[in-house]
């Protein structure tokens, strides 16, 4: 059974078909790249998977279960976490606090915490320890106490990834994690993404506008344009695909 299976999902905004009968199968343990020019529909695919927008028809199966009718907050505990194209951190909270917030959400509710103060203290310590491990995994443990908003951009993106990991997902959806990063930061990010799949065994779909990032780390790449899949294959196949080249024509690749 595939971990995630999208069959003919669609979403229109007014007259614009943002996603048009798009299908995608992701196996457990895979690291899949989702590329395409600006406006191709990549983010909307993530918004459909995570329940932000209902799909107009089609099917969304996660571990064989139909998750299409579920709300975003019901989908997270099923094992899907994401990062956003635009950063969504608590700027004045520390990097550690940002990660711990997500961890608490995953582990116990606020009311539960109030009812079991003793247990709360223990889990709070666990949350802190685990969150530190995650900051270490993404390479910024030394910045744990710094206010997230004052961190360099590349580091803020790493906090966001650690926060998504704190939800303990099976599937991690990264929306343009390299946006705004310089070449050196991108290299570090690539190493981090590889560690997440290798060390945590988490399946990843990563959206990227620029092709070279995904080419380096993703054995399989899917390319969209105008809401539809136009190509799928190895980096080599994608790089030489006439449709992909045409889609990117006039764009900086």
Binding site for ligand ADP (CB under 6 A): 13, 16, 18, 36, 38-44
Shortest Cβ 41–ligand ADP spacing (Å):
4
Q: Does 47 bind Mg ion (CB under 5 A)?
A: no
> Which of the listed partners (Mg ion, ligand ADP, none) does 231 bind, with a CB threshold of 5 to 8 Å by partner kind?
none
Q: Does 225 bind Mg ion (CB under 5 A)?
A: no
Q: Does 190 bind Mg ion (CB under 5 A)?
A: no
Shortest Cβ 209–Mg ion spacing (Å):
8
> Which of the listed partners (ligand ADP, Mg ion, none) does 110 bind, with a CB threshold of 5 to 8 Å by partner kind?
none
Question: Nearer Cβ to Mg ion, position 37 or 154?
Answer: 37
**Residue numbers 23-42 binding Mg ion by CB under 5 A:** 42
Question: Nearer Cβ to ligand ADP, position 194 or 210?
Answer: 210
> Which of the listed partners (ligand ADP, Mg ion, none) does 130 bind, with a CB threshold of 5 to 8 Å by partner kind?
none
Selected binder of Mg ion within 34, 35, 43, 46 (CB under 5 A)? 43
Q: Does 83 bind Mg ion (CB under 5 A)?
A: no
> Which of the listed partners (ligand ADP, Mg ion, none) does 239 bind, with a CB threshold of 5 to 8 Å by partner kind?
none
DSSP string covering the chain, please? Answer: --SEEEEEEEEEETTEEEEEEEEEEE-TT-EEEEE-STTSSHHHHHHHHTTSS--SSSEEEETTEE-TT--HHHHHHHHEEE--SS----TTSBHHHHHHHHHHHHH--HHHHHH-HHHHHHHHHHHHHHHHHHHHHTT-GGGTTSBGGGS-HHHHHHHHHHHHHHT--SEEEEESTTTT--HHHHHHHHHHHHHHHHHH--EEEEEESSHHHHHHH-SEEEEEETTEEEEEE-HHHHHT-HHHHHHHTTS--
As a whole number of angstroms, the distance between CA 107 and CA 129 comes to 14
Question: Nearer Cβ to Mg ion, position 13 or 110?
Answer: 13
């Amino acid at each position: 059974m595939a971990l995630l299976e999208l069959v003919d999902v669609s979403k229109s905004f007014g007259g614009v078909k943002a996603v048009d009968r798009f299908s995608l199968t992701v196996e457990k343990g895979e690291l899949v790249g989702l590329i395409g020019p600006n406006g191709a529909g990549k983010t909307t695919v993530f918004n459909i998977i995570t329940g932000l927008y209902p799909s107009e028809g089609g099917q969304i199966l996660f571990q064989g279960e139909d998750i299409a009718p579920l709300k975003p907050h019901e989908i997270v505990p099923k094992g899907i976490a994401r990062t956003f194209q635009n950063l969504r951190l608590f700027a004045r909270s520390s990097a550690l606090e940002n990660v711990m917030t997500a961890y608490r959400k995953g582990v116990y509710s606020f009311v539960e915490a109030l009812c079991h103060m003793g247990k709360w203290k223990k889990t709070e310590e666990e949350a802190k320890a685990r969150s530190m491990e995650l900051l270490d995994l993404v390479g910024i443990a030394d910045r744990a106490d710094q206010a997230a908003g004052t961190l360099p951009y590349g580091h803020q993106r790493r906090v966001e990834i650690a926060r998504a990991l704190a939800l303990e997902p099976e599937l991690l959806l990264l929306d343009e994690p390299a946006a705004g990063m310089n070449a050196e930061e991108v290299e570090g990010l690539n190493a981090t993404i590889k560690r997440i799949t290798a060390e945590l065994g988490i399946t990843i779909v990563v959206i990227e506008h620029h092709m070279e990032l995904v080419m380096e780390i993703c054995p399989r790449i899917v390319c969209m344009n105008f809401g539809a899949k136009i190509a799928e294959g190895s980096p080599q196949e994608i790089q030489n695909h006439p449709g992909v080249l045409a889609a990117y024509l006039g764009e900086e690749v």
